[in-house]
Structures are given as structure tokens and as C-alpha cells.
């Protein structure tokens, strides 16, 4: 996909297999009663699959917000309130500790009760409820499966009459989960959203130059969290038209200066990106509701 390497104006990055995964998810929907839609708390707008409803066709869904431990709760909560007002059932989780995961189970059981009432009205027997996890790359889908599965899981295997080779796992007495999540790519609306996704490894970061990514990180930190730049790098202003003094300050502060006071631009850029990905700037949220509503 070399031709997808992007410049500052081209964000039409679209993995070739995306149409195929969309089709596969659409096909599975007839077997699914509830969708667990996963987004990343540090980018609750950018990581959301905006057109998911066209795919899941009115099925009940729960919006699961992973990495809540890593986000700026004030900013993220504002966005989660916005989703709740739209009618979403929202569950923020920390998948490293498992905090709040049980809420997913109780909401699913409520949904199952409703489902089985409807079945009863039609003269059908009650049955287990079946769930599918859907979300962007790297938001925590696999970790969520492991959390939900825990030790109590049993592999159910294929259902008679279902030709497709699907694996179901029982995550609760009455809840079955499809063992492989649906991976979807968020629609890229603008350069900023694409860059935010790259910052959190939700789209291939190679499509952006490390200098572009690192400069974006400096810019957004200066705008939203200037005190963190001061703390970590000793920076109180940045002249983006002449970045060299800034890079030099960072290199010095982080011990990346070579003998003679020289430094390698690319190494400093990489260091910034690595610091960011390792959470060195503290809890962070890069989406802002105001920008979306503009």
C-alpha cells in the first residue's frame, strides 16, 4: 500500500479489506442479538465507527469505552454525556483491572429479558443472548474478550445448521459471545482525526511521517495540556516555524544529545512519539466536543 503514504491533504486511506470485513459483519448480524461497540476513551469521537448503524440494522448495542484509566476524565465524560443524550448505553471500562466489566453483563441480561419476552409473545422458547464485539483496530477488543471470558468460559463450538466456521464462547450462563471481533476502520473525516487515530495506533502510523506525528503531538499538547510539556520537556513555548530549538531542548532534557551538542531530528521525533504512546504525559483525551459541533 505504498501509494497510500499520505501527505498533509490526502487522508483517503482505506484498507483494501475493509469492504470485505463490513460484508462479513453484515452477514453475521442475523446470528447476533446485541452488539458491543468499542471505542477508546482517549478519542471517543475519532475512534467511533459513525456509520455502524447501517451495518447492525437496529440491533441493541452497548457503547463500551475502553482505556478509561488512561483518559482525561473531564473531557471524556463530556463526550460520553453527549452519547448518552443520543440514547446510547455507555459503559466506561478499565480492562487492565476489569473495572466495570460486570456492568456489560448486567445490561446484556436486561436486553435478554426483553428479547425473551418478545419470543414468548410469539410462542417461542427463551434462549441465550448472542453478542458480537465491533470496533477500530487497537481499541481493546481482544482484551475485552479475555476479560469477559475470564475463567468461566466454555467454548461452545459450531451451531448445528450454521455452516460458517464461527466460534462461540459462553461468557455467562445465558450470554454467548462470538470469539472473533469485527474490526472496522473509522471514516476519516479530516486530517486531525486521522492523526489522532495514528497517535493511538488505530491506523497504521506509517501512513504519516514520524515528523508529522511528533509535531502534531507537540501542537496538541501545547494547546490542551501545556503544563505537561513544561514538566516533561521544560518547554513553555514552541516556535513551529523553526522547530530546531524545541527539538534541541527536548533532546537535552531527555539525554538524547550527541557529543558536541548535536542531535538527530528523527530520533527526537521518535522519542516524542514513544513518550506519548507510553503515556508519559499523563491521562489524556484528544477529542473535543466543541470541534465536532462546529
Ligand X SMILES: Nc1nc2c(ncn2[C@@H]2O[C@H](COP(=O)(O)OP(=O)(O)O)[C@@H](O)[C@H]2O)c(=O)[nH]1
264 binds, among Mg ion, ligand X, none (CB under 5 to 8 A by kind): none
3-state secondary structure at position 169:
strand
Nearest to 42 by CA among 13, 12, 74, 14: 74
Q: Per CB under 6 A, which region of 73-81, 109-117, 138-146, 184-192 contacts ligand X?
A: 138-146
Instruction: Kindly state the smallest distance separating residue 94's Cβ from ligand X, in Å.
Output: 5
Going by the DSSP 8-state scheme, the letter that residue 242 receives in this structure is S
The nearer residue to Mg ion, 183 or 243, going by C-beta atoms, is 183
**What is the distance between the terminal CA atoms of the chain, rounded to a whole angstrom?**
33
287 part of the interface to ligand X, by CB under 6 A: no
275 binds, among Mg ion, ligand X, none (CB under 5 to 8 A by kind): none
Going by the DSSP 8-state scheme, the letter that residue 178 receives in this structure is E
| Beta-strand pair 154-155/168-172 | antiparallel
What is d(CA 221, CA 228) in angstroms, rounded to the nearest whole number? Answer: 7
Q: Which of 102, 142, 154, 190 binds Mg ion (CB under 5 A)?
A: 142
141 part of the interface to ligand X, by CB under 6 A: yes
Residue 181 CB-half CA count within 13 A: 22
67 part of the interface to ligand X, by CB under 6 A: yes
What is d(CA 63, CA 39) in angstroms, rounded to the nearest whole number? Answer: 7
96 binds, among Mg ion, ligand X, none (CB under 5 to 8 A by kind): ligand X
143 part of the interface to ligand X, by CB under 6 A: yes
139 binds, among Mg ion, ligand X, none (CB under 5 to 8 A by kind): ligand X
285 binds, among Mg ion, ligand X, none (CB under 5 to 8 A by kind): none
Q: Per CB under 6 A, which region of 3-11, 139-147, 160-168, 217-225 contacts ligand X?
A: 139-147
What is d(CA 160, CA 204) in angstroms, rounded to the nearest whole number? Answer: 39
Q: Which of 100, 138, 191, 248 binds ligand X (CB under 6 A)?
A: 138
Q: Which of 1, 18, 96, 162 binds ligand X (CB under 6 A)?
A: 96
Query: How far, in whole angstroms, is CA 242 from its chain's centroid?
Result: 33
CA distances to 32, 126, 147, 232 from 114, rounded to whole Å, are 15, 10, 25, 52
**Which 3-62 residues touch ligand X, going by CB under 6 A?**
none
What is d(CA 154, CA 152) in angstroms, rounded to the nearest whole number? Answer: 7
**Interface with Mg ion (CB under 5 A):** 142
**Interface with ligand X (CB under 6 A):** 66-67, 69-70, 93-96, 135, 137-143
Amino acid at each position: 500500500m505504498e501509494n497510500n503514504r499520505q501527505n498533509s491533504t490526502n487522508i483517503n486511506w482505506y484498507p483494501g479489506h475493509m469492504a470485505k470485513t463490513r460484508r462479513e459483519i453484515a452477514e453475521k448480524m442475523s446470528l447476533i442479538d446485541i452488539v458491543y461497540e468499542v471505542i477508546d476513551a482517549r478519542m471517543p469521537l475519532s475512534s467511533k465507527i459513525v456509520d455502524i448503524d447501517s451495518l447492525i440494522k437496529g440491533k441493541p448495542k452497548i457503547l463500551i469505552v475502553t482505556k478509561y484509566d488512561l483518559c482525561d476524565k473531564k473531557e471524556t465524560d463530556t463526550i460520553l454525556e453527549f452519547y448518552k443524550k443520543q440514547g446510547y448505553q455507555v459503559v466506561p471500562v478499565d480492562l487492565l483491572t476489569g473495572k466495570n466489566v460486570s456492568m456489560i453483563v448486567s445490561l446484556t441480561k436486561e436486553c435478554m429479558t426483553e428479547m425473551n419476552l418478545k419470543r414468548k409473545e410469539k410462542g417461542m422458547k427463551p434462549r441465550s443472548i448472542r453478542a458480537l464485539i465491533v470496533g477500530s483496530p487497537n481499541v481493546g477488543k481482544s482484551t475485552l474478550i479475555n476479560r469477559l471470558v475470564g475463567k468461566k468460559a466454555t467454548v461452545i463450538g459450531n451451531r448445528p445448521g450454521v455452516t460458517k466456521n464461527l466460534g462461540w464462547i459462553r461468557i455467562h450462563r445465558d450470554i454467548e459471545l462470538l470469539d472473533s471481533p469485527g474490526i472496522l476502520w473509522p471514516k476519516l473525516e479530516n486530517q486531525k482525526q486521522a492523526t489522532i487515530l495514528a497517535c493511538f495506533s488505530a491506523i497504521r502510523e506509517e501512513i504519516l511521517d514520524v515528523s508529522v506525528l511528533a509535531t502534531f503531538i507537540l501542537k496538541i499538547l501545547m494547546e490542551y495540556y501545556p503544563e505537561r510539556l513544561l514538566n516533561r520537556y521544560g518547554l513553555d513555548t514552541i516556535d513551529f516555524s523553526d522547530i530546531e530549538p524545541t527539538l534541541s531542548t527536548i533532546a537535552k532534557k531527555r539525554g538524547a544529545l550527541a557529543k558536541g551538542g548535536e542531535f538527530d531530528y528523527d530520533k527526537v521525533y521518535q522519542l516524542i512519539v514513544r513518550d506519548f504512546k507510553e503515556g508519559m504525559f499523563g491521562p489524556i483525551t484528544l477529542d473535543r466536543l466543541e470541534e465536532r459541533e462546529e
